């Protein structure tokens, strides 16, 4: 049963987010609004260090990080807002629970930058980590919403160029199909607390530029899955992006990839951001941490 706190969060998110005129709000205004409203109840044992070169982002390090264990995290925000700071409630808590240092990437956003700018930045970050001596199999990549799609796009780009792959990937409510062909786009148009079907369709076109919406560089659901590392995917039954996860899990399994798909009833899009307020948020983060630790 959905907790009382989760139901209250759904009401709050619906009031604040559901009918925002996305992506028509000017990017700078939207980014400032989201940053001002960011909530982060951070673990006391996690320190933060900003990085500006050769890639932009921040290290989030727990005091008891296991040697070598590293998470490369990509924030969500439809590819036109969001930041490492905005998603610290997920990434810093994962750092503590998984006993892993996290590098949260501040990748280039639209409308100033179109696809594949974010994927290029993700590749640069992965190459930087491995160039610093981190073994690829010790890296877990992950992200929420657009960041989840970016994590998947990174795996496919690494595979395509013949590079060693990370140990695995975890995706929170990933946006993998910017062509918006999943049945849940319309089915959950009213039920979803955060987005409408129109918001998703227009958001995809906003980042695509002249690229076809089903180009795998933009929509990794249409890419190749053979040989990818194990995946942990979670989504809410009530969100418009539910079928981005369901179809992803199906295609990956057909390609021989080990997949864990967790569908949670009645929760908001990327509910782990509300940790530690919601018990469901903490339960999911603990589960992902166990996936990373290989418990």
Which of 145, 173, 219, 236 is catalytic? The answer is 145
* Closest-CA residue to 84 (of 133, 44, 125): 125
The residues, ordered by sequence, that sit 6+ positions from 112 with a Cβ below 8 Å of its Cβ are 27
Confirm whether 239 is a catalytic residue. yes
**In terms of DSSP bridges, do strands 46-51 and 70-74 run parallel, antiparallel, or are they unpaired?**
unpaired
Place of tokens 């949670």: 264
Instruction: Assess whether the previous peptide bond of 87 is cis (omega < 30° from 0).
Output: no
Q: DSSP labels for 198-252?
A: HHHHHHHHHHHTTS-TT-TTT-GGGS--TT--EEEEEEETTSTTHHHHHHHHHHH
Helix spans in the chain (H): 4-17, 27-36, 88-98, 117-131, 146-160, 184-187, 197-208, 242-254, 279-293
**What is the token pair recorded at 22?**
């996305």
Which of 58, 75, 104, 269 is catalytic? The answer is 269
> Which SS3 state, helix, strand or coil, does residue 136 take?
helix
Residue 268 has what DSSP assignment?
Answer: P
Confirm whether 269 is a catalytic residue. yes
**What is the token pair recorded at 151?**
């994590």
Number of H helices, E strands in the chain: 9, 8
Confirm whether 287 is a catalytic residue. no
Which of 239, 264, 280, 281 is catalytic? The answer is 239
Cβ(104)–Cβ(73) below 8 Å: yes
Cβ(143)–Cβ(150) below 8 Å: yes
Catalytic residues: 145, 239, 269
């Amino acid at each position: 049963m959905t907790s009382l706190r989760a139901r209250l969060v759904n009401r709050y998110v619906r009031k604040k987010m559901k009918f925002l005129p996305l992506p028509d709000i000017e990017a700078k205004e939207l980014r400032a609004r989201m940053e001002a409203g960011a909530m982060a109840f951070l673990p006391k044992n996690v320190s933060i260090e900003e990085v500006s070169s050769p890639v932009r982002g921040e290290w989030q390090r727990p005091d008891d990080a296991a040697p070598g264990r590293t998470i490369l995290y990509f924030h969500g925000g439809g590819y036109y807002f969001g930041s490492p700071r905005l998603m610290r409630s997920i990434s810093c808590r994962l750092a503590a629970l998984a006993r892993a240092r996290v590098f949260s990437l501040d990748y280039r956003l639209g409308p100033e930058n179109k696809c594949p700018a974010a994927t290029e930045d993700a590749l640069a970050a992965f190459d930087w980590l491995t160039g610093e001596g981190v073994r690829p199999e010790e890296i877990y990549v992950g992200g929420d919403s657009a960041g989840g799609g970016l994590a998947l796009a990174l795996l496919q780009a690494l595979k395509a160029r013949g590079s060693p792959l990370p140990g695995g990937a975890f995706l929170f409510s990933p946006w993998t199909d910017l062509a918006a062909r999943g049945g849940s786009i319309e089915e959950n148009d009213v039920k979803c607390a955060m987005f409408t079907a129109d918001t998703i369709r227009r958001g995809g076109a906003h980042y695509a530029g002249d690229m076809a919406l089903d180009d795998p560089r933009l929509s990794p659901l249409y890419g190749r899955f053979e040989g990818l590392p194990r995946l942990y995917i979670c989504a809410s039954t009530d969100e418009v992006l539910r079928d981005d996860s369901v179809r992803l899990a199906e295609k990956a399994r057909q390609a021989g990839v080990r997949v864990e798909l967790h569908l949670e009833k009645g929760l908001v899009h990327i509910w782990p951001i509300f940790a530690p307020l919601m018990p469901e948020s903490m339960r999911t983060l603990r589960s992902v941490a166990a996936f990373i630790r290989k418990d």
